[in-house]
Structure formats: C-alpha cells, structure tokens
Structure 1
C-alpha cells in the first residue's frame, strides 16, 4: 500500500491510505473495502475482493440514499392508496346522503299521487257500478292531468291504476282454504291459457301445462296428499330433495314471487311459443312478448267464508279490463279467436270527439264472440263486470333518482256507508326516473 488520496479508489476520506492493486491485476482497483483502522498508517484489507475493470467502488453514502428513496416512495404509495380509499368512502357517504334527501322528496310526491288515485276510484264507484277500460281511472291522459294538478313543478311524476281482478286469481285453483277440493272451472281456464302459450310440439317447448298446473295445486292444497294430482304434481318430498331444500307451503300464495319456488314455474312461464300470437294477431302479440307473471296473475281477491273461519277466492275475471290473452282463456273452446276483437271492441272510439262507441253493459261480449246460449251461460260463470281490488303505481323522478310506490287497495264501504279505499299492501323501491312525456306524440 502507499499513501495517497483516499477518494481515488472509492475509500472514504477518513482512511488515509489507498490500495496498491496486486501485481498482474492490470491496474484494476478493488470495489469492496473494509477499514480496520482510522489512524494514520493504519492498514486496510480486502474482504471478498471483487475486481471490475476500470470501475470505482460505489460510495457507502450513495447506497444509503437509495434505500431512503425506496422508503419514501413506499410511504407515498401507501398514503396514495389510503387517500383513494378515503375518497371512495366519502363519495359513497355523499351519495347516500343525497339519496336520503331525494327519497323524502320523492316519497312525498308518490304518496300524493296514490292518494289522488284513491280519490279517483272512489268518485268512479259513486258514479257507476261497473269498471272498465273506458273509465277515467284507466285513461292515461286523465291520470296525467290528475298528476299535473298536484302542482309539482320540479321532478317527474307518473300514475297508473290496474284492476287486479282483471287477472287470473292463482289461489282460486282451490275452492276454499284450508282445503283440497280443486276448482274445476279455474283449472280449465289455466289449461286454456297455458295451452295457448306453450307449444304442443315438444321439440319446440318441453314444458307440460298439466304438470305445471298440478304442481301449483299441490302447493296450494292443505297437506301432502298425492291423490289430487298424482305423480305429475310436487309435494313436500320433492322440495325437500332440492339443494337447498325447502317446504311446500300447502296454502294460499301471498306474493307472486313465491310462484318461482313451485316446480315448473319460471319467469318465462308465459313466453309465447304456442298459438297465442295467432289468436291475438301479429301486432298485438309483438307488444306483449315475454309477459310477466303480474300481467296475467294476481294473488289478491280473498273473501272470508261466512262460517268456519276459512276463506276463498272467487276467481271470476273482469272481462271489461282483462288482458286479451286472459279473455281467450275464458272463452269457450273454439271461440278463443274472438279475444282480439273483444279487446278492440272495448276501446273503439269515434273519430270526432273521441267518445267510446260501444257500451260495456252486462253480456256485451256475447254477440261479438258469437256465443250460443249454452256457451254464454258457461262464460258468465267465469266473469264479472265490476272490481273492488286495484293496484296503484306511482313513480317519481328527480335528478336521475327515482322511487316507485305500489299500493294494493280494496274499495269498500265503511260503517257509515261511505266509499273508502282500504290499503292492503304497500311497497317502496328504487326505480329509474320516469321519462318526461313526449309532447310531440299523437294521442
């Protein structure tokens, strides 16, 4: 070794010595040095010599700075992730607060619309004893004007009233509850409807109307007795074998969604693969493609029995408001083709003034459907001309936020003989904000 500038070969200044490369090293310098002394004349020795051609040993301070930089970058990354998470939570809390604020406003709007709908139904019952698609509560233009009269200048509000007794009463398949006896008339209507919807060609549609009806009956009737429907039905042992298992209700259905738990009932139950489009016409069938269960079915209409504490469902359908597919199922065999014509008959209007052309009094359908006396008698046992159970739907929208209020009411008289609407059910749910009315659309 010889005395010299310790910076030449990367040795810290505190060491007064430099290293003389060994002979034959070609002038290479050492890159790994450990100091054993700091006084003048102290020796330095190599630890694990590693020779690099022409390179200087990296200063120790530079390595420390690199580690510090990595630590700083790591801390910044953690803080950035934390800030992003806090921002996400803050935005979610702000959205929730905005939704709660808007919900109060929108719920006030829908409640006002529902009350207006109830008042309209009461006024209708005072004026007339029948219910039909010709009345104000079924007229979209009248309902739109009713909503505008509520005075809401901000947001969008819509109102719709639906006759629940213009549909098939699911629970009417059993004559009374609790009980086993099947209502043969109602079963016949179901057979007609599913026969129209489901193709008889099993290569096109493997569903079996009889199996579906039997499974529904088994779900409704009391106990687990296979004698009613035979092996094509489904009692508790079938549902217990499913994963996850559940019990057969053996009683009336209270919510339409419960039907999806019954063997064979699916959301596309009324997806028309059969002759329904032929019965209703191509244009009308296209409008009703893939109907929901609620388009044809209802769980409402319960009536208490006079004795015994049980209850029943009348099952008669309001022909003045029923969907054309339901009308086709009610008509006698061979007369189902008249369903579309009857639906058109109900809504025919004069060109001048727009008044309805045809009155919908008792028996109005008989001549239009060309029924015999016997066929008319059979049909009369299945239908009604007035209703007392309605669904009122109000949807309010504000700044891309919407809420839907659905109410089931029964129109009846109170103890003083005044007509009132008694609420049977009420649901609130988030919904898409309704679209503003198209002012350019023709009526």
Structure 2
C-alpha cells in the first residue's frame, strides 16, 4: 500500500515463438535441458512481480503503452554468473506483444551503458519475438559475466504499437525512454523521458559461476517488501540489504523481490495486483533454485476497506490467517521453506485506527506463536519505537508512519537470521 503523494526487424516463425514461450510450461523431465545454461542450471538473479496497467497516483507509461520506442531499464542482480537471459511478460496484455529487439549491457550513468558492453539478445535464434497475450518468454542465453550486486541495463525496442503494458508500478528505480531505435546506443542522450516503473521485464536469470544449489530466497509481500519509502535508485529495499548481508558474508545468494505495493493476501485490487493466494504460484513457484520464501503481507487486507473510494471488502484476522496457511501449503508442496514475518507498526499513518491496530496485534501474536511457519522474523519489533511500540522508530520512518525508510529497511534485513535462510 502507498499514499497518494507517492506518487521488442526479423520476422519470427511460429515455431520460434512457441519454443521461446513455452519454456516455463515444459514438463519437469523435458524442461531440464531447456533450463541448463553454460556451467549449470539457470537461477534467478533479479525478479519483479508484474501488474495490469494502471495509474492510480500519477501518470506512467503502462496505460498508453509504446510505439516506436526504446525502453531502457536498470536492475541490480543479487547473484553472479557467466551467462544471462531475460524474462519478459505480457501477462496482462490483451494483444500479442512484438519485441523488435533487445540488448543487455553493463550499466553506466543514468540511461547510458558501458561502451562495447551491449549484447544483442535472441529468442529461439531470432532477434525479434512475439509474446502472446497472457504469455511469458525467456530470451536465449548470452555469454555475459556478471557479479553479485552488479547493475545491468536491459534495453527493449518496441517498433509497433503495444497497447497498454504489463508492468511493475513501484520500481524504486529510474527507467528511460527514447523515440526510435536506440537499443545499441552506449550514450543515454536520446533517453529524454523517465519513469519509476518497470515495463514487460520480469526477470534476469544467470547460469555458471558457481555450483547450482537450491538456496535462492524470495521475499514476498506488499509495498514494504517492494521498498516504497526508500530512496529511488539506491537499492535500499530490505531484500537488497539482505542480498548485501549475504554477499558481505562471502555467501552471495539469489534474493528475488516479489513485493507489490498495495497488494493483499485475500483480495484482488485493480491497481495493486492479484491477491497473493492466486499470484503466489505464478510469481514464486515458477522461480528456479528457490528454497526459502519470506512472507510479509496483510496490513492492506486490514486497511483496504477504509479507502473512501475503490476500497476492498473487510478482512478478519481469521481470514488473513487462512490466507497465510494457503501460501504456506503452496510453498511446502514444492519443498520451499517459509519464514513468516510480523506486520510492522502503523501508528500515525492513514491505517491508524483502533480496529486495524487490534487486528494487527492479534495477527502478529498468531505469527509468533502458531508454529505454522518454518521460522519467524519479527519485523514489527525490529523497527518499532521502544518508547511507543505501535509506532515506527522515527529514525526508521520514511515519513508516512507506515513505510520504513532506508535505515528501517536495513534494520529489517538485519533482523533476519541468515542461518534460518
């Protein structure tokens, strides 16, 4: 949840389209070869959850989409490798999406990339691809050595009218747009438009560089996992800080952020994504190499009904608990460990009502004592003001009394027991 002030030319054959698009749908036995990269299996290095086009707080590019535009997006990977590929999503598109071309490069300043670093991406051997409405595709892998915590720039050229775009609203990072084909530019000078959302790009995977192990981590939740309230382009979300802790300990691991601002466990919300119990299998269970998920979500379930317009049905503590139990069952069925997290303080925010606070306290007591999870992290106590435990410590507060700022997100990451992960 957030406040109102936060405010891809080669023609591809049908066979090539299908071969690229069905990678994630192959039976597990047949998928092994498809999922192998140079030096080992593919594993997630960066990810985000996609949403349907919307502009609830301020204009963005999702509602109109693109036509003869180049879009450049910067992401920081959490684990390294010697080969890379990207994932593109047209999950919420109503028409096929034509990607005329795409590159991956090493990030320089702003919309620029390091000279000579851009690698042209292919899809089933072709430079362009059409993603069916509702579909997701991977590019072919390309030799591209990258280290943990290194930023990479993915550039998409969209020559044809796309229609409204599948995207991720609160990126907390700057994306760049230029008119015409600038996919191979080193300079960022043509990229005169900016946005703080990601478009179509839903993942970066790597292979090689280390023995593949099922030790990846997904952080799953709402805006507090998404990093709302942190500094743009600083990579200070709590999952980023966790990735930094792991790297500093000499044990870099994949940390994939599947938070969506405003998301709920039990209700769909048009501008804030599908409810967690439905999107979990699409966003988490499709990720390769994941062994643990950190689950922090529920405050919007309690508060969504308080919105003066466009609110969602009221949710009881028991209904939220049942939602969490569903997520735990889904994870355990795939052999994934679940770390449950307490909900952080809301005193002084627009969610500050006696009824919501009573629900938050009751749900947190269940998280701490139920034994439903494999482990628990107490984010509530990690960021609370000791003198007023229902309120975020001022030094940790972004200013809206709901979302932590950079220091608060660091405190959350430090609250996680690395051994438990």
Instruction: Report the TM-score when normalising by structure 1.
Output: 0.26
Task: Kindly indicate which of the two structures has a greater share of residues assigned to helix.
Answer: 1
Instruction: Report the TM-score when normalising by structure 2.
Output: 0.26
Task: Kindly indicate which of the two structures has a greater share of residues assigned to strand.
Answer: 2
Bigger radius of gyration among the two = 1
